[in-house]
Amino acid sequence: MKALATAALAASLAITLITSATPPTLACTNLIVTKGATTDGSVTITYTCDGEFHPRMRYYPAADHEPDSVVEIKDWSGNVHGTVKQVPHTYAVVYLMNEHQLVIGETTFGGREELENPDGLLHYWWLMRLALERAKTAREAIEVMTSLVAEYGYRSTGESFSIADPNEAWLMEMIGPGPGGEGAQWVAMRVPDGYVCAHANMSRIGEFPLDDPENCLYSENVISFAVDKGYYDPGTGEPFRFNHAYNPPHPEMLRYAATRVWSLFRRVAPSQNWSPDYHRGVPGAERYPLWIKPDKKISTADVFALMRDHYEGTEYDMTKGVDAGPFGSPNRWRPMTWDNDGATYSWERPISTQQTGFSYVSQSRSWLPDAVGGVLWYGVDDTYTTCYVPMYCGINEIPESFRTGSLGKFSWDSAWWVFNLTANYANLKYSHIIEDIQSVQTDLESTFFSLQPVVEKNALELAKKDPSLLTRYLTDYSVGNAEMMVDRWRELCEFVICKYNDGYVKDEKGRPQEVGYPETWLENVMSSRPNQFKLESWGDKTAQKDLLD
């Protein structure tokens, strides 16, 4: 039976990684909030997994394995590239949080192209999954991931990992050794308690201490390798910086990645008046720090809001200007860059994007039993138009609507398609429809927050009586609320399709109303083609008669 469990788990794992994870693209955003920076003492990380794909959430039960068991390592097409030795026992995992409240997120920074190693076995998504199955704490996860790449090789490009448990949060950055090389170059730093950190497709770790193993870990040759490759010259007297060596910045990268970090920092600590100069590529501008202290402690609801961002209220506000269309849509269609008259242009890249497959906001809480303390607030599609629902790490089932569907065929049974259709329809009359979406979003999320203390009080009572009842209770609550949420979103989607049919807006009695266009947009239209839309006066009565005749 153990052998069968091992085979089934390995097969499930491989299938999920092929069908539900995003292809490796530079398109994710993470925020790390330490326990001393949150209002309730949670350690929180966020992860927007951005890319044109259909996510499928999965649950992996804890399992015991035979001594000679292996995990088959497969690529996106299901081809087996090799095997990794299985451990005697693996922990239960709810997508990207395990039963010990350990949670992992990532963003890809790419880095130097020549350091990608096609001969390595493990991509970053395999490292994340294997660490969640094998580690209880963030430090253990770092040990698991770095030991695995040392033994089996690292196959991905440059990667930043957010790793958190109920007490600590770490940022680890890793890049390969190049074709045929061994292991990987990496550094991991613990985010100081009371601080927040952010990363978004750009290496963030610069200078780091070499003699502080409590707070900083790194590969043995992370500096010497850079010296050998010519990425760093100690003779300059400059300190070694991981990001300068392995992911040197350029203007397009700064616009694409650093702007998101800046926006999170400006909202978390507005008192510091963060300059946009660095993300705009102003020569000599100072890099944003790796972590900052927020002006005030941050709630989970605050984190939801932080991950819903199009630079509103700044000069880069994507809901303003001719590019936002008549109804202020913040969405920009790919490609992001284009050339015109010898110059290259680029849309802004916001935190909220229509290309998000799924996102989460985690809570890891040290004062609660693991099954209750770990919560993955999960949402599908764009963070701005999604709804986050609590999925406790002590559950043993996943909502059907979260684990069904494909990118190639629309289905009302798929949560992702329901949210995606609603969000896409909003682009027709965005400034109007977004209010209907946010009304339901706010109602559901505020209800989930209100219920959380009661649900957890009941869960703690059950934990004292019967752990199996606790599992059933948390599973029923999480799955039931998720499916209720998707039902509400189906109703919302049907509602907005009907309310905004053919460009009209139906009033409370269902009567279509002509709402036209905003005055500022009409002025833009008139200034671009002033004569086409202007109705000329008929003049005197004689002229009118001639026209009528």
Neighbours of 332 (CB within 10 A): 18
Beta strand pairing status for 185-190 and 158-164?
unpaired
CA distance 245 to 223: 9
- 181 DSSP assignment: -
Which of 361, 394, 360, 390 minimizes the C-alpha distance to 101? 394
| Predicted confidence (pLDDT) per residue in 373-410, tens digit | 999 999 999 999 999 999 999 999 999 999 999 999 99
Shortest CA distance to 91 belongs to which of 134, 148, 144? 134
Q: What is the DSSP string of 275-303?
A: -STTTTT-TTPPPPPSEE--SS-B-HHHH
| Short-list 75, 213, 203, 96, CA closest to 143 | 213
C-alpha 368/C-alpha 371 separation (Å) is 8
Distance from C-alpha of 373 to C-alpha of 133, rounded to nearest angstrom = 18
What's the confidence (pLDDT) of residue 542? 64
* Token pair in block for residue 227: 């010296």
Q: What's the helix, strand, coil split of the chain in %, to 5?
A: 40, 20, 45
CB neighbour list of residue 48: distance below 8 Å, 6 or more residues apart = 28, 29, 30, 307, 351, 353, 356, 359, 383
191 near 172, Cβ under 8 Å?
no
Beta strands in 141-242 (DSSP E): 158-164, 169-175, 185-190, 196-199, 216-218
User: For tokens 């397009």, what's the residue?
Assistant: 252
Taking the C-alpha atoms of residue 91 and residue 393, their distance in angstroms, rounded to an integer, is: 11
Residue 445 in tokens: 């999320």
pLDDT digits (tens, 9 = 90+) for 484-493: 999 999 999 9
Residue-wise pLDDT tens digits, 418-459: 999 999 999 999 999 999 999 999 999 999 999 999 999 999
Count how many Cα atoms sit within 13 Å of the Cα of residue 283 in the half-sphere of its side chain: 0
Task: Supply φ then ψ for residue 362, to 5 degrees.
Answer: -100, 155
What is the C-alpha separation between 254 and 274, in angstroms, rounded? 15
Tokens 């394995």 label which residue? 65
Sign of CA dihedral 381, 386, 390, 396: negative
Model pLDDT, residue 319: 98
Take residue 384 and report the two structure tokens written for it.
Answer: 């701005």
On whether the CB atoms of residues 330 and 352 are closer than 8 A, the answer is yes
Helix axes 467-499, 415-426, angle to 10 degrees: 30
Q: Identify the CA nearest to 526 among candidates 45, 83, 518.
A: 518
Q: Going by C-beta distance under 8 Å and a sequence separation of 6 or more, which residues neighbour residue 465?
A: none
Task: Judge if pTM exceeds 0.85.
Answer: yes
> In Å, how far from its chain's centre is CA 402?
16
Edge-to-edge strand list for the sheet holding 196-199:
291-292, 196-199, 28-33, 44-50, 356-363, 375-380, 389-392
For residues 27 and 50, is the Cβ–Cβ distance under 8 A? yes
Residue 545, pLDDT score: 64
- CB-CB neighbours of 335 under 10 Å: 8
Look at residues 108, 110, 109, 90 and name the one whose alpha carbon lies nearest to residue 100: 90
| Strand partners for 179 | none
SS3 label, residue 519: helix
Return d(Cα 4, Cα 17) in angstroms, integer: 20
Single-letter amino acid, residue 63: A
Distance, in Å, from the CA atom of 298 to the CA atom of 453, rounded to the nearest integer, reads: 18
Q: Which residues of the chain have pLDDT under 50?
A: 1-24
| CA–CA distance, 282 with 285 (Å, rounded to integer) | 6
**DSSP-assigned letter for residue 420:** H
| Contact indicator for 413, 405 with CB cutoff of 8 Å | yes
